[in-house]
Chain A
Amino acid sequence: MTELLNVQGLETQFLTPEGVIHAVNGVSFSLKEGEVLGVVGESGCGKSVSMLSVLRLIPQPPGKIVGGKALFQGRDLLAMTDEEIRQVRGGKIAMVFQDPMTSLNPVITIGKQIAEPLMLHLGMSKDEAKVRVIELLQLVGLPEANMRLEDYPHQFSGGMRQRVMIAMALACNPQILVADEPTTALDVTIQAQIIELVKRLRDEIGMAIIWITHDLGIVAGLAKRVMVMYAGYIIEEADVKTLYANPQHPYTLGLLGSLPRLNEQRHERLASIGGLPPVLVEKPNYCPFISRCRYAIERCRTENPQLIEVGTNHRTACWVDPQTGRAR
């Protein structure tokens, strides 16, 4: 499989009255054609900001992309002019956002909203676009699609709105779909419908997907590869099965331990992680997880660990091997 997106050393900061917040601190990853990449982390870990930075959707100011490259088909997205990036966004790379209630325009009909990228990016006429819109709505499983083009967003339920958002994202046959917590606002049975839809689209259309979430359960069933983020760093990256079977970073271990299992038989105490994630107002020369880590050794205080190879396609940023408790 060929490489579609290659991000190198991405750094994003926010200028606030309290100082510079280091939101993303040198994130590097690549995405292959047709691959589903899960990005996992808690609020504020930089998972959304790093993907929004790649698409240049960070409001500037207060945000600022201070370094890095994002090569998409050989061209650097971060160096493009505003006009060029607009051609890519919504065309070759599309995005679905968390809240389907606020990301649709309430005063424009659904038909018009989905037709907009078609007319803009593909230069379709109104009538051509209408045919394609009906096709798209059928693809995402909206019943009686041709009857609903004139409806406004408030006439749809949350799950249906998210289907409309996905139809809009798929409009121009994107090569990459970036989904930012698209099911967080939905109920479990509706979430299951949407995930089933995305799996079907993944298999039928074969586009690459970046799925941002805090839910380790969704990623387990959907992604092929997973990145775990903490305090603006990627702290572990592996194939989905390797990550869940053999987590190598204390934070990943803690996250998995904090989750109660649906198939739990005996009642066991949850292994919570004490403390809170840090707010980075300076680039740390220590491990950002140190205050919550029970494996910490002297080296963690003086040197921020880099991602190192610990197995096939398995990288982690930790000086300690949590299985043995000894330094790597």
Chain B
Amino acid sequence: MIDTSPENILVKVDHLVKHFPITRGIVIQKQVGAVHAVDDVSFNIYKGETLGLVGESGCGKSTTGRTLLQLYRPTSGRVFFENIDLVSLKGEDLRRTRRRMQMIFQDPYASLNPRMTVEEIISEPLVVHGVLPRKEMRDKVKELLNIVGLSSRLVDRYPHEFSGGQRQRIGVARAIALQPSLIVCDEPISALDVSIQAQVVNLLEDLQEKLGLTYLFIAHDLSMVRHISNRVAVMYLGIIVELADRNELYTNPLHPYTQALLSAVPIPDPVIEERRQRIILEGDVPSPVNPPSGCRFRTRCPLAGAICAEEQPEFREVQPGHFVACHMVSV
């Protein structure tokens, strides 16, 4: 179990909003609208846990991760990391805080510079933050390669000489080089084959135990998120609709979207599949430029009533540790 006392909070996200402006005009640009990528999201990440963040494409899960790290500056809201307010930090102060929080990207082909050697890639964060003298750098890189399960003889190779899974290991080595406390993993395995996915997930779990890392694990694969996370948050169209302990969320989903999402995942067992009743959602996700009034999910929701169009449901705690944003869920 994860210690969810206030002293154990590593990251506190408080009413985070990120809108991307839509402009018209070339020389004189006028804002004509906004993509509501993240709209009022609040959650905590506790030390040593893995918080899973799931949702379909365009739901704002990656934007949430990036805004949390201040790779995007939020439109409004606060992010506290180790009790420091990141939103008010600028320049050198922000840069120094970034040492403690790192990111692993989705595409291991695009996130490594093809013209840099493995040594240059992995040592870059160490050089930028000036934490090691130059002559110790090579040994450190070799040590990091060993930690992520690659041979230290590979230091002078280039990214194209590696397979997808090996490249993702290089990305992991780069992320842990500065001994961060938080790593945001943005779909780190979705570009990999099934057998390689399991290798990388096992590596991430081993490192968490060894180095005491905290993960925000962003993914769309619900089975993998259940496997790796302690708690899971479900996003839909820029808001978190449900957040709970992993077993609680998967066995007792309360939000109709979570229920539909879980029932849509195919289970690799023909006997279970034969008996399964699916909730098939109608239609597509609405545009985040003009999200529906009231509850975001009401246009596809099988339970939607009159109140859902008028009022945005509050994100409330219905059972200890189980949060849900739905009018139709009774306490």
The answer to whether A and B come from one shared complex is yes
Chain A residues within 8 Å of B, Cβ to Cβ: 42-43, 157, 159-160, 187-193, 195-196, 214-221, 240-241, 244-245, 254-265, 267, 269-274, 276
Dominant SS at the B interface?
helix
- Is there contact, CB below 8 Å, between A188 and B220? yes
CB within 8 Å of A: which of B29-49?
Answer: none
- Is there contact, CB below 8 Å, between B56 and A262? no
CB distance from A185 to the nearest CB of B (A): 10
Given that A188-B220, A188-B264, A217-B268 are contacting pairs, would A272 and B199 also be in contact in the complex, using a CB cutoff of 8 Å? yes
Most buried by A among B195, B222, B261, B280: B195
A-B contact pairs, 17 of them (CB 8 A): A188-B265, A195-B266, A215-B266, A217-B223, A217-B268, A220-B273, A221-B276, A240-B270, A241-B270, A244-B269, A244-B270, A258-B198, A260-B201, A262-B250, A262-B265, A269-B205, A270-B202
A216: which of B205, B226, B268 is its contact (CB, 8 Å)? B268
B228: which A residues are within 8 A, CB to CB?
Answer: 260
**Docked pose: A254 CA to B250 CA in angstroms:** 25
Given that A189-B264, A192-B264, A193-B281 are contacting pairs, would A260 and B223 also be in contact in the complex, using a CB cutoff of 8 Å? yes
- Is there contact, CB below 8 Å, between B261 and A188? yes
Instruction: Beyond the given A217-B267, A245-B271, please list 13 additional residue pairs across the A-B interface where CB-CB is below 8 A.
Output: A42-B194, A189-B261, A192-B278, A221-B267, A241-B270, A261-B223, A262-B265, A264-B226, A271-B198, A272-B195, A272-B196, A276-B163, A276-B196
**Docked pose: A215 CA to B195 CA in angstroms:** 11
A272: which B residues are within 8 A, CB to CB?
Answer: 195-196, 198-199, 201-202
B155: which A residues are within 8 A, CB to CB?
Answer: none
CB distance from A324 to the nearest CB of B (A): 23
A245: which B residues are within 8 A, CB to CB?
Answer: 271
**Docked pose: A191 CA to B278 CA in angstroms:** 12
A42: which B residues are within 8 A, CB to CB?
Answer: 193-195
Question: Does B260 lie at the interface of the complex (its beta carbon under 8 Å from any beta carbon of A)?
Answer: yes
A221: which of B163, B195, B266, B281 is its contact (CB, 8 Å)? B266
CB distance from B209 to the nearest CB of A (A): 11
Most buried by A among B202, B227, B278, B280: B227
CB within 8 Å of A: which of B178-204?
Answer: 193-199, 201-202
In the A-B complex, list the 7 residue pairs whose CB atoms are closest, starting with the nearest. A217-B266, A260-B227, A272-B198, A221-B273, A192-B264, A258-B198, A187-B56
A159: which B residues are within 8 A, CB to CB?
Answer: 284
- Is there contact, CB below 8 Å, between A214 and B193? yes
Which residue of chain B is the closest to A276 with respect to CB atoms?
B163
Question: Does B75 lie at the interface of the complex (its beta carbon under 8 Å from any beta carbon of A)?
Answer: no
Per the CB 8 Å criterion, the residue count for chain B at the interface is 44
B268: which of A191, A192, A196, A259 is its contact (CB, 8 Å)? A259
Per-position contact with A for B293-318: 1 when CB-CB < 8 Å, else 0?
00000000000000000000000000
- Is there contact, CB below 8 Å, between B194 and A214? yes
B13: which A residues are within 8 A, CB to CB?
Answer: none
Per-position contact with A for B56-83: 1 when CB-CB < 8 Å, else 0?
1100000000000000000000000000
- Is there contact, CB below 8 Å, between A260 and B226? yes
B288: which A residues are within 8 A, CB to CB?
Answer: none
A263: which B residues are within 8 A, CB to CB?
Answer: 250, 267, 272
- Is there contact, CB below 8 Å, between B56 and A189? yes
- Is there contact, CB below 8 Å, between B270 and A220? yes
Question: Does B171 lie at the interface of the complex (its beta carbon under 8 Å from any beta carbon of A)?
Answer: no
**Docked pose: A265 CA to B273 CA in angstroms:** 18
Given that A188-B222, A189-B264 are contacting pairs, would A276 and B278 also be in contact in the complex, using a CB cutoff of 8 Å? no
CB distance from B278 to the nearest CB of A (A): 6
- Is there contact, CB below 8 Å, between A274 and B199? yes
Which residue of chain B is the closest to A224 with respect to CB atoms?
B270
Question: Does B207 lie at the interface of the complex (its beta carbon under 8 Å from any beta carbon of A)?
Answer: no
B267: which of A160, A189, A220, A241 is its contact (CB, 8 Å)? A220
**Docked pose: A159 CA to B58 CA in angstroms:** 14
**Docked pose: A187 CA to B61 CA in angstroms:** 14
- Is there contact, CB below 8 Å, between B270 and A217? no
B247: which A residues are within 8 A, CB to CB?
Answer: 265
Given that A188-B56, A221-B273 are contacting pairs, would A262 and B267 also be in contact in the complex, using a CB cutoff of 8 Å? yes
